[in-house]
Amino acid sequence: MNELLTLDGVALSYHTAEGETEALKSVSFSARAGEFLSIVGPSGCGKTTILSVVAGLLKPTAGKVLLDGKPIGPPNGEVGYMLQRDTLFEWLTVSANTLLGLRVQRKLTEESRTYAMSLLEKYGLGEFADSYPTRLSGGMRQRAALVRTLAFRPRLLLLDEPFSALDFQTRSDVAEDVRAIIAEEGVTTLLVTHDVPEAVCMGDRVVVLSSRPAVVVKIIDVNIPGGPAKRRTDRRAARLSEEVWKELKRTD
């Protein structure tokens, strides 16, 4: 009910000169509108592949991906994808970086520009709009990249290990920041990570994947109030992390 995204038996194999790699065996799960789903699994199990399929960048070998009941097509701005590295262009100002995607996709209008600038303002980057990214801290860069993605008003947001390039100190601050922005904007989100506590602290539910080729081994309801920082100190979160680790071990 009220499901925005559905993956049903999604399989994907890569074909290269060296042969075939089966990345996804059969992946099925759904995300409700407004939900934040964490997807956790071992390195190399097929997490990025799942996001590429949902983004419409790769076509599954078998199975279905439905957004609002309709098959996903080629990328058109409905799905926002934020990569591991923030990919801000150093030679463009923060505001030019923010507007670049809209410009490239010919969606830069007076309205979308105003909206993008209001997001920069709202999330504390207004005074850096005319600065270059080198002036931003790691956390602020990540926020700018998120604003750039949200400027499209995507129906679905994909985050691929967005904190993995940050040092430990910054990491939890940025996670807190990003989670709060996403909650405020109410956008349905898939976060992919191999960090179990991060998955539990960020998500409404956690989808646990097997090692490659990926299948879903368990979906866990988190049901713990508060943002990531608060959850990090909650014993229930620690117990859920244990549960996830146990599942991951079983599939090794």
Residues that bind ligand ADP (CB under 6 A): 14, 16, 21, 23, 41, 43-49, 212
| Pairing of β 62-67 and β 3-16 | antiparallel
CA angle 64-158-177, nearest 5°? 155
CB of 212 to ligand ADP, least distance (A): 5
Nearer to Mg ion, 160 or 185 (CB): 160
> What does 43 bind: Mg ion, ligand ADP, none (CB cut-off 5 to 8 Å by kind)?
ligand ADP
CB of 4 to ligand ADP, least distance (A): 22
Nearer to Mg ion, 96 or 216 (CB): 216
> Can you spell out the DSSP letters for 155-205?
SEEEEESTTTTS-HHHHHHHHHHHHHHHHHHT-EEEEEES-HHHHHHH-SE
Checking 219-225 for CB contacts under 8 A at 24+ apart, the result is 219/29, 220/244
Cβ contact 131:143 at 8 Å: no
Nearer to ligand ADP, 47 or 141 (CB): 47
CB of 87 to ligand ADP, least distance (A): 17
> What does 134 bind: ligand ADP, Mg ion, none (CB cut-off 5 to 8 Å by kind)?
none
Among the residue ranges 30-38, 41-49, 118-126, 134-142, the one whose residues contact Mg ion (CB under 5 A)? 41-49
Nearer to ligand ADP, 52 or 98 (CB): 52
How many residues belong to the site for Mg ion (CB under 5 A)? 2
CB of 54 to ligand ADP, least distance (A): 12
Among 6, 21, 48, 93, which residue sits at the site for Mg ion (rule: CB under 5 A)? 48
Using CB under 5 A as the binding rule, whether residue 21 contacts Mg ion is answered as no
> Can you spell out the DSSP letters for 17-84?
TTEEEEEEEEEEEEEETT-EEEEE--TTSSHHHHHHHHTTSS--SEEEEEETTEE--S--SSEEEE-S
CB of 44 to ligand ADP, least distance (A): 4
Among the residue ranges 45-53, 74-82, 89-97, 209-217, the one whose residues contact Mg ion (CB under 5 A)? 45-53
Tokens 């995507």 correspond to 154
CA distance 55 to 50: 9
Positive or negative, the CA dihedral 120, 122, 126, 127 is: negative
Helix (H) or strand (E) holding 249: helix 235-251
CB of 48 to Mg ion, least distance (A): 3
The residues that touch Mg ion, with contacts defined as CB under 5 A, are: 47-48
